[in-house]
């Protein structure tokens, strides 16, 4: 059983930091940006970390570029300057990034590798997205590639490359082919994980640095947990 650790300014998992960006390996339960729960978000914790590390007076600038669902783990990029934020927002909105996720599922998918295309319709009330094979009113096209990367005793590990960035896309698309993610009660898995998270991890992100223009390839170690550890 994995012990739940909450991110703080003193235990942040910083994967990369320079003058313009800071990249964090998000833990289970970390909220990227403030919401109605009122819980302290990762964005505020990163600000505290920067303020203390550089002894900065006054407000620290930090821009939220993208989000990860609260029960997932992995790479989150923040902008430390307004220049970087503008350019990163453009990169992410134009999908000029390569995102790779790892997921652990119980059921074997129909094929060992495949491209999935669905039309996702979001239900604001339940905060879920339902995957349809054909377009329905107010749905958005969603596409991803997956492949099996390891067969475990009771589970399978999948590598997923996203082509679009829709609400709960990986969770709903895998559930639609009968492969809900371990711990994901919302999308049909039969029991929760002890830490309240799900086995979905943003493992790799590649993009061109917004200022230096060099290619950045970032890798996030998976949580220290028995199933994740058996995939490494």
Which position among 30, 69, 184, 195 bears the catalytic label?
Answer: 69
Active-site annotation holds for 69: yes
202/169 Cα distance (integer angstroms): 13
In the block, tokens 């074997």 appear at 108
Give the C-alpha distances (Å, rounded to integers) separating 230 from 100, 150, 156, 160, 199.
Answer: 19, 9, 11, 18, 13
Q: Which of 49, 218, 169, 151 shows the shortest CA–CA distance to 160? A: 169
130/186 Cα distance (integer angstroms): 11
Residues that are catalytic: 69
């Amino acid at each position: 059983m994995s012990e739940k650790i909450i991110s703080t300014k003193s235990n942040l998992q910083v994967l990369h930091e320079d003058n313009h960006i800071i990249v964090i390996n998000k833990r289970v339960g970390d909220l990227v940006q403030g919401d109605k729960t009122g819980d302290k978000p990762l964005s505020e914790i990163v600000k505290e970390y920067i303020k203390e590390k550089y002894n900065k007076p006054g407000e620290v600038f930090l821009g939220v570029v993208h989000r990860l669902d609260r029960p997932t783990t992995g790479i989150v990029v923040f902008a430390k300057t307004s220049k970087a934020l503008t350019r990163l927002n453009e990169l992410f909105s134009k999908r000029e990034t390569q995102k790779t996720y790892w997921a652990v599922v119980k059921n074997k998918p129909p094929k060992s590798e495949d491209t999935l295309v669905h039309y996702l319709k979001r239900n604001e009330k339940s905060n879920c997205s339902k995957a349809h094979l054909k377009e329905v009113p107010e749905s958005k096209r969603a596409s991803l590639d997956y492949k099996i990367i390891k067969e475990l005793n009771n589970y399978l590990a999948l590598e997923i490359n996203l082509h679009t960035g829709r609400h709960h896309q990986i969770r709903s698309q895998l559930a639609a082919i009968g492969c809900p993610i371990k711990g994901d009660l919302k999308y049909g898995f039969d029991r929760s994980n002890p830490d309240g998270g799900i086995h979905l991890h943003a493992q790799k992100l590649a993009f061109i640095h917004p200022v230096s223009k060099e290619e950045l390839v970032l890798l996030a170690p998976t949580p220290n947990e028995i199933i994740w550890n058996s995939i490494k």
